[in-house]
Structure formats: structure tokens, C-alpha cells
Amino acid sequence: MKNDVRRLSILSTDEIDELFGLPHFSDDDRRLYFDLSAKERELFDNTRTFSVAAHLVLQLGYFKAKRQFFSYEQESSVLNDLDYIAALYFPTKTLSRLKSPSRPIRAEQQRAILDLFQYKQCDNEVKVDLEDKAQRVAMLSTQPIFIFRELTQYLALHRIVMPSYRYMQEMIGRVVAYERTRIARLLSTCMTSLIDQQLAALLRAESGVFRVSALKHEAKDFSYKELRHEVARRQFFQPLHEFAKQFLITAGISNESGKYYASMVKFYTTYKLQRMKKETAQLYLLFFAFHRFQQINDNLIEALLHWVDQYEKQAKRAAEEAMNNAVTNAAKNLQAAGHVLSLFTDDTITDDTPFSIIKEKAYALLEQERFPLVADYLRNIAFDKTAFEWSHYTKLSATFKRNLRQLFTDLDFAGRVEDSPLLEAIAFLQNLLRTEKSPRQTDPNSFPTEIIPKGLRRYLFSKEGKTFKTLDVDRYEFLVYRLLRNSLEAGDVYVKHSNEFRRFEDDLISDLRWQDKERVLQDIGAPILLAPIQDTLAVFHTMLAARYSAINQHISDGVNKHIKVIGAAEKRRWKLLYPSSDESVNSDFYSQLPGIGIADLLWFVAGNTGFLNAFTHVLDRYVKHEADPREIFACIVAMGTNMGLAKMAEVSGLSSASMAGTSRNYLRLETLRAANDAISNATSQLPAFHLYDIQDTLHSSSDGQRIETQINTLNARYSPKYFGLQKGVSAYTLVANHVPINAKIIGTHEHESHYVFDLLHNNTSDIKPERHSTDTHGTNQVNFWILHAFGYHFAPRYRDLHKKMDTLVGSQHPNECGDWLIKPARKTNDELIEREWPNIQRIMASLAQKDVTQATIVRKLSSYSRQNQTKKALWELENICRTLYILDFVDDVGLRQCVQKALNRGEAYHRLRRAVAFVNGGKFRVKTEEEQQIWNECSRLITNAVIYYNTVLLSRVYEQKQTVGDQNALAQLHSISPVAWQHINMYGNFEFSPSTSKIDIDALVARYAEPEYWKQALIENENSSE
């Protein structure tokens, strides 16, 4: 490779100093790093002179701190360190007698240190291996920071001293340039004339609009017009997708790299794409087409499911309404029916009166068409709702054909059983529609009718005599759509090139990787997956037996005071009592503080946490200048408050175009999440953070907050309870010790339980919860087991706990449990679990992968639609884990209080977020799902900043009271929540230049040292807690 590659900008100045800069030790650091172990002491004792020995200790300390060696001069920090070493090991010596060792002596000391710690230098031979490793990593991702992190892990694992930052820059630059050149050349070699023309067409304008710009457009909703455009986009992308699919394999490009290349099309303007190297532009466009095609497939399937659901609900509502009308009308006609019956006892009608005359009299009393209805009512014959539903589908036929045919015809379906009746019916109907043949004009006898359930045949065939003869083709078509919907949801039918609706096996770890099963399970770090399942089940049974015995003993002995037993003997019933566990929000403890503006808040938090370092340029290389912090802050506040960039430019005096460029270049999901992590991590290091541990446990919760959307997006749904006649989404957030450590925007139609593990597993902050709570919406058929396997204690709050008592399992049959009030509903099925354990291990290993969406796998596992033996075994493990929790929940009032407290904190976060995102009534006004995610991350960052600021203040006050031994004050601080914003000015003037009046935490904390001020704070906090 050539060496004339420009150096990349990989790390910020602070990050470079942190990794490669000379250590700057505090007194605590010196005590830690300059303390010598036995082997280090032996090396120290073998030195002959004071100077050599002192510098040996100095190099040892620096190496232990950073695993590197440094060229240092006699600067102040080094002199302070040497002064400490001299005082500790040479109390009779002075620094004036200390001399710097020669270069050979220093090199000799470094070799001795390397031998002691079993490290080696990064010499030329190692650098060749390192660059080879970097090339392999670059095939996974060409983002320099990703390669850098992978290489630092490689160096640490192999105990190699990291080379200089300059070398790492140049080497990673060479590798990135080589990988992109390799792929571009390979693409040029593989390129066909047809694909070349289609890629070129993307950069041409039609009617003044570039084709690629039009194809970037995402469908806003499931309307016919939007879906028609989406189908057209899919048809354009299909040949490009087929080519890209093969090219991915040929080039060995990872899915992550493909996504990165695709994202460049969103970043670059069409003008810049036209001006860059042809091979590079084609690479970006090709992967944009590849990922957009799969996204469109997901959208079309979602639309198909949505419309089938809607038509089914319409038919059921119409049938219900017809039934109610029929009953009402029949009841109204009962009096007339009575008069009809009285004709048979009317003495004025002789026996020889023709029946035609009697019928005429009867029809005069009750209209002829109402006779069957009244007769059925009198004979107690049920209204045939199903018949009315299917007749309604006939009325809807024109509508459902218009909306569903374009989706059904364009998608390619496959199934687990290739020759299944449903796939035959799908292929038959698709063939008709794709060849533009009308199903109505096709011989009904040619339709494959094996899919029609026996119970529905009477509704799909017209009756002639005693047999069903002619197939109703319109009803048949809807039946195919409905069965297809059911099979897609169950996973029996799938779409290969889809993210959400592909085969379940495609979500699992590959066969090739699974061949090294033991290594994969070791890497996951979940001990329960490595242990023999028989041992795990034995532990479960021991725990179950102990829990059942204890809970029933506590009830019978009256030890459990928070359970109320009603009745006697077999009629005994029980209910739980829930003591209050409230925490104050927006405590008046803060009310005496001077208000600060949101800009000053962000400057303060950035200075203390360094979160600005997370905002790297999208290109990650050759960036001419760093981002302006003022514009970063302005963009965060603009989007986090729902104000928008244009309005923020007006009120802040910043350039709208410049802010738009900063937003596009720096504010992405990955950078915003990294910035949030930086603040969360800093908060977790503050003394007050662990004041909010619940029973000495880091107890998190997750819950959704509904947000109305003013512009249609595919994930927005109607929800009359929350949005009236409008649409909206849900911001699902993970909160631990009041800190929002992860969040995701989901549709209100999506089940929150599918995202519980997703948020926990993909939490990249240093805050790692031990116990996690949700409300009932966070529970499903697998979450207890999944969270248990990955080291979390799941602790939900059920809306109706008694319903869950029927799911309790145990080691023994219920009949063997005597007079226990709380007993299992059945015995566990250990044999099923043991038989399916290898499959369960593979599923769990797949959940640990970073290149799959955990929510997708959980959704498929928790679905009732399709049940196989593996899923039943998983559910059985779920039943065991759920049973253990429920028994604890009933027996331990403290646990119930903990769960409630954790959930209350989630609600408190929602209130703070609502106060932050106050503009536009808190409603989203963005055009895409990605923008929703970004705006929500900005809101989370502002709330994180508020919580950090409050926690800093509380920490300093805590240390102040701890120093003077004020135990009452320390106890009071435990009840003061950092979720407070009355002292933060969310409105006002948005001036983002560095403030001359910086926040003086020392001065603010000093106020609480004054008895009267503290007394007033206590009084107001007590009032706010009432």
C-alpha cells in the first residue's frame, strides 16, 4: 500500500490526551500506581542508584496506568510524581540529586517492565500483523473509529504496547483507502451495462427532479397513492438489489459496511455524487438501492397486514351492527307476530278458508320479508354473523382489490412447506394478476380450493339444491389475503428479502458460526447457557419448592401482613395490599436556586462531561474544521424542544444554512446516543447517583410516552385514547436511577414487550441495571427467561395478578400440595425443555448478536400464531421464571414497593421530557421515522443534562453534609429527586455563545451550608413530598 495517505481525524483532542498523553496523577492515583507489588519490588531492589530506581518506579506507574511508555521532561507533573516517589522510597534523598537516566538505561527498564507484565513492543513484525487485522476489520466497517476500537482491543488482548497515535492514523488511513479502492475496483469489474445504466439514471433529472431524490422519499402512510409510489420504487430497485445481493457475497462486505455506504447517499447532494469518482458514487448508490429495497418490502408487508386487519374489523363491526338491528327489529315485530298467531284461533275464519287468504291476512299484519327474521328469533336461532361478514367482504371487494392487489402482486412469498395449499393459491392468484387476467373472468373450477376451511365453504360457494356449486371469486380472493396475513404473522410464510418478515432461521446465528458453539457461548458471557440444562432445572426446582413452602407458611403464620385472606377452607381468597412508595418530583428543594438558561446548562454539562467529543463528522476523515459548539447546542435545543431549526435560527441569531449543515454533518443517531452516554456515564460517577439505588440495587424501568405526530409517517397510528382523531407514536425509554440510558421511537400498534430486552441489551452506557420493571405491557411469553439468561431480574407490575396465578408451575402436581392457599396450576415439563435445549441455546446466542434486531426475534418468539416444540420449551422456561417472581412478589411487600418506585421514576422522566419538548404542544412535526428518533434523542440529551446538573448539586451538598456529620440531612437527601426543572429556564433568550457568568457550583452549594437556608429547603421539600 502507498504511504502518501492523508492522516484521518479519528479522536478528539481530549481523547488523544486520554489515551496517549502523559498521565497526570492525583494523590490517590499516586498511591495506587506507585505502590509496588512483590515482583515489582524485587526489580526495584536490584537497581543500584537512587536516580535509576526513582525513574524505574515512575515508568512502572505510568505503564500500569496506560500500558505505554513515555518520553518525558522534567515538567511540573513529572516532578510532583518524582517528589512523591522520593518521599515514599528515599526519604533521605532530595530531588536536586536526581538525574535523568540515559537512553540505554531507560530502554533496559522498559524491557524489564515488559517482561514483568508479559507485554511486548509493537515492532515491525507485529505492525504487519496489526495492519493485516485492520484490513479484515475494514471489511466489516470502514469507519475509522470502529477500526481503531477493534485494534485497541486486539492490542490489549495480545498484550502489545499501542503504537503512537500518528502511526495508528496513517495505518488506518491506508487500510480505509485500500478497502474502498478494492471494493470500487471489484464493482467496476462486476458491473454490467444494464446496472451501469440504472445507476446512471439515478443521477439524472426527470421533470426537474433528480431520480435519486424521488427514490429517497419515504411513504407517509398506507394510502393507495403512497403505496402505488412505493411499489414503483420497489420495481425500480429490484434489479439493483439482485446485483447488490451477489456483489455483497463476492466482495465479502458486511451488512454494517453496506449500511454505511447507503447512508452516504442521504448525506451527499446529487451534485456532489455526480462530481465524485464514478466507482465510488456507484458503490454508494448500489447499497442505497439494496437497503431501500428491503425497507420497501417491509413497508409493503406492513401495509398488507394493516389493510387486511382494517377490512376484517369493518366486516365484524358491520356484522355486529346488523345482528343488533336484527334483534331489535325482531323484538319490535313480536306484537305483530302475536296477531299472526291469533289467526289460527280466530273463530271468524272457517276451516275451509283457502290458505292463500290466511297468508294475505298475515302479510297485512307483518311484512312478508320480516317473517324469516321473526321466525328465527322465536325459534332461538342465532344470527349468522359469519354470513354477514362474508357478504360485507363482497361489498368491500372493489376497495380491497384496489389497495391489496398492488401489494400482493409485487411481493415474492415463500413458505416453510413449499407445496402447501396456501402457497399454491398465492401462486395461482399472483399468476392471474401479473398476467392481467381478471379472476372473475377465470373459470371458478380452476381455482385451488383446498385452502378453504370446511366451516367456511358455505360462505364461499353459492348453493344450488343440496350442494355448494359456484365459487364466489371475490370472497375467495379476500380469504387468500386473510390466510396470507395469518401465515406472515405466524412465520409460516415469509419474504426472503425483508428485515422484519424473513424466515426465523435467517435471524439466527449462521450454521457456520454455530459449528463453533462452545466458543460462541463463551463469548456471550451468559453462564446459564453453558451449564448443563439438567443442573439448571435442578436449581429451579429447589427454588420453587422453597418459595411455595415459604409463602404458604408466611400466610398461615400471619407473618405476611400485607396479604388479606378472605373466606375459609376451599373458598379462601386473597388480595394484596400495596403500601405507598412515592418520590417527589420537581422538589421545592431547588426553588431557592437562581434560574439558569438552557444554553448555560449545556455549556456547564459539556465542560464537565465532554459530551461534545461525541459529535464526529459523518465522513470521519479529512474534515477541515471542527463543529461550532454554539451550532451543536442550537441544533440540540431546536430539535429537542420541537422548535425546529428554522425557528431556532430566527431567535438565536445563528445562520439557518449553517445550522442545517451542522445538523446534517454531526447530529446523527450514533453521535447523539454517544453524547447521551457520555452524560449518563458522568452522572453515574457522582456521589449522589447511588442514593437512588433501590434496596442497594440498580433498578431500572421502561415505559412508553405517547407523542402526537402532525405529519404522517408509516409508524404513526391512530389511537383515540391518546390522540383523539389524530395519529402518533410512542417514545419507549429505559430509566435507571432517574437517568434515561436508552430510548427508541416505536409505533403505538407495536407491543412494548418486544423492546424490553432490545433496550437493555443495546444500552451502551456504563449504567448496567440489575433489576428491571415494566407494567403489564412489558410482559409476554419469553421476557422473564430472556432477561434471566442475560443476567437481569425481571420485575413487572401486573394489572391483574390473579389471572397470572393460573400460569404458576411447580415441581409437583397441584393435588400433592395439600391445603396450600397458593399452589401450582400444573407440573413443569422438564422433558420438553431438555429435548429442545440445543435449539434454545442457539436462539439465545442469536439474541446476543449485534447485527440482528432483538425486538424482531422477541416478537416472533412471543407470537401465539405459530407454536412449535422449541417455542413451547421456551415458554415453559418462561413459566418457571415467572412463577418464581410472582411468588416473591406476593410474599415480599418490599419488592412490590421497589417495583412501584422504579415505575414512578419512569413517569417522572415523562413529565420532565414533556416540559423539555414544550414547543408545538409537544407534537412531532417531522417527515421521517429517522427524524423522529433524532429529535427524541435530542430531548433525551437535554433531560440528561438537567438530571446531571441536579445530581452534581446534590452530590456536592451530600459531601458537605457528610463532612460535618449531619445524619438528618444525609437521610433527607435520599428523598430528593434529581428530576426537577423549575430552576431551568426552558424558554427565554437562546444565546449559545460561551457565557461570561459561568455556573458557580461552589457558591450554590455554599448556600446549603447556611442553617436557615437548609432549614427552608427541608421544609419546602417536605411540603412538596406530601
Choose the weakest-confidence range: 52-56, 698-702, 1010-1014: 1010-1014
Mean pLDDT of 999-1004: 87
Q: How far is CA 1020 from CA 80, 984, 1014, 1024, in A?
A: 47, 18, 10, 6
Q: Which residues, in sequence order, are CB contacts of 991 under 8 Å at separation 6+?
A: 597, 599, 652, 653
pLDDT at position 3 over 50: no
Quote the crossing angle between the two packed helices 629-640 and 598-609, to the nearest 10°.
Answer: 120
Q: What DSSP letter does each residue of 55-80 carry, written as one string? A: HHHHHHHHHHHHS------S-HHHHH
Residue 27 pLDDT: 87
**The model's pTM:** 0.81
How does pLDDT run across 967-989, given as a tens digit for each residue? Answer: 888 888 888 999 999 999 888 77
Q: What DSSP letter does each residue of 417-483 carry, written as one string? A: STT-HHHHHHHHHHHHHHTT--GGGS-GGGS--TTS-GGGHHHHEEEETTEEEEE-HHHHHHHHHHH
Task: Round to whole Å and give the CA distance between 697 and 262.
Answer: 42
For residues 812 and 867, is the Cβ–Cβ distance under 8 A? no
Instruction: Using the structure block, give the residue that is written with the C-alpha cell 485494534.
Output: 151
Residue 1022 pLDDT: 55
For residues 741 and 735, is the Cβ–Cβ distance under 8 A? yes
Residue 215 pLDDT: 86
Torsion 667-673-678-680 (CA) sign: positive
Residue 879 pLDDT: 96
| 3 state DSSP class of 697 | strand
Residue 579 pLDDT: 65
Q: Which residues, in sequence order, are CB contacts of 58 under 8 Å at separation 6+?
A: 34, 78, 81, 82, 85
Mean pLDDT of 535-563: 91
For residues 638 and 644, is the Cβ–Cβ distance under 8 A? yes
Which is nearest to 58 in space by CA: 42, 46, 44? 44
Written in H, E and C, the secondary structure of 913-967 is HHHHCCHHHHCECCCCHHHHHHHHHHHHHHHHHHHHHHHHHHHHHHHHHHHHCCH
Torsion 39-43-46-51 (CA) sign: negative
pLDDT at position 1020 over 60: no
Contacts 24+ apart (CB under 8 A), 958-964: 958/687, 958/688, 958/691, 959/687, 960/1005, 960/1008, 960/1009
Task: Round to whole Å and give the CA distance between 769 and 99.
Answer: 51
CA 697, 698, 703: angle at the middle one, nearest 5? 125
How many alpha carbons fall within 13 Å on the CB side of residue 538? 5
For residues 428 and 437, is the Cβ–Cβ distance under 8 A? no
Mean pLDDT of 736-764: 94
Report the percent of the chain where pLDDT is more than 70. Answer: 94
Residue-averaged pLDDT of the chain: 88
Residue 1026 pLDDT: 40
Mean pLDDT of 873-898: 95
Q: Which residues, in sequence order, are CB contacts of 435 under 8 Å at separation 6+?
A: none
How does pLDDT run across 552-569, given as a tens digit for each residue? Answer: 999 888 888 888 888 776
How does pLDDT run across 12-55, given as a tens digit for each residue? Answer: 777 888 888 888 888 888 899 999 999 989 888 888 788 888 88
Torsion 461-464-469-470 (CA) sign: negative
Task: Round to whole Å and give the CA distance between 881 and 863.
Answer: 19
Q: Where are the domains of the chain?
A: 34-117, 190-308, 333-380, 588-680+930-1025
How does pLDDT run across 423-476, given as a tens digit for each residue? Answer: 999 999 999 999 999 999 999 999 999 999 999 998 999 876 666 578 999 999
Report the percent of the chain where pLDDT is more than 90. Answer: 50
Mean pLDDT of 188-217: 87
For residues 725 and 709, is the Cβ–Cβ distance under 8 A? no
Task: Round to whole Å and give the CA distance between 214 and 227.
Answer: 14
Task: Round to whole Å and give the CA distance between 911 and 492.
Answer: 43
For residues 944 and 733, is the Cβ–Cβ distance under 8 A? no
Q: How confident is the model at residue 2 (pLDDT cuts 50, 70, 90)?
A: very low
Mean pLDDT of 103-129: 91
Task: Round to whole Å and give the CA distance between 751 and 731.
Answer: 12
Residue 112 pLDDT: 92
Residue 223 pLDDT: 93
Task: Round to whole Å and give the CA distance between 944 and 605.
Answer: 9
Q: How many helices (H) and strands (E) are present in the chain, helices listed first?
A: 44, 18
Which of residues 51 and 777 earns the better pLDDT score? 777
The residues that bridge with 468 in the sheet, in sequence order, are 463
Output the nine-digit C-alpha cell for 588.
421545592
How does pLDDT run across 246-288, given as a tens digit for each residue? Answer: 998 888 887 778 888 888 888 888 888 888 888 889 999 999 9
Mean pLDDT of 718-723: 82
Q: How far is CA 466 from CA 283, 375, 450, 458, 461, in A?
A: 66, 22, 21, 11, 12
The residues that bridge with 699 in the sheet, in sequence order, are 771
Residue 736 pLDDT: 97
Residue 377 pLDDT: 67
Residue 821 pLDDT: 85
Residue 908 pLDDT: 95
Query: How many angstroms from the chain centroid is the CA of residue 719?
Result: 21
Residue 557 pLDDT: 85
Q: Which helix (H) or strand (E) holds 209?
A: strand 209-210
pLDDT at position 860 over 60: yes
Mean pLDDT of 181-185: 88
Q: Which helix (H) or strand (E) holds 793?
A: strand 793-794
Residue 238 pLDDT: 94
Task: Round to whole Å and give the CA distance between 1020 and 1023.
Answer: 5
How does pLDDT run across 498-527, given as a tens digit for each residue? Answer: 988 988 888 888 888 899 898 888 888 889
Residue 621 pLDDT: 57
- DSSP class of residue 715 equals T
Which is nearest to 729 in space by CA: 745, 740, 712, 751? 745
Most confident of 715-729, 918-932, 945-959: 945-959
Mean pLDDT of 805-825: 88
Residue 577 pLDDT: 75
Q: How confident is the model at residue 9 (pLDDT cuts 50, 70, 90)?
A: confident
Task: Round to whole Å and give the CA distance between 514 and 504.
Answer: 16
For residues 635 and 659, is the Cβ–Cβ distance under 8 A? yes
Residue 4 pLDDT: 44
Mean pLDDT of 651-661: 91
pLDDT at position 381 over 80: no
Output the nine-digit C-alpha cell for 198.
440504472
Q: Assign 3-state DSSP to the chain and report helix, strand, coil percentages, each to 5.
A: 65, 5, 30
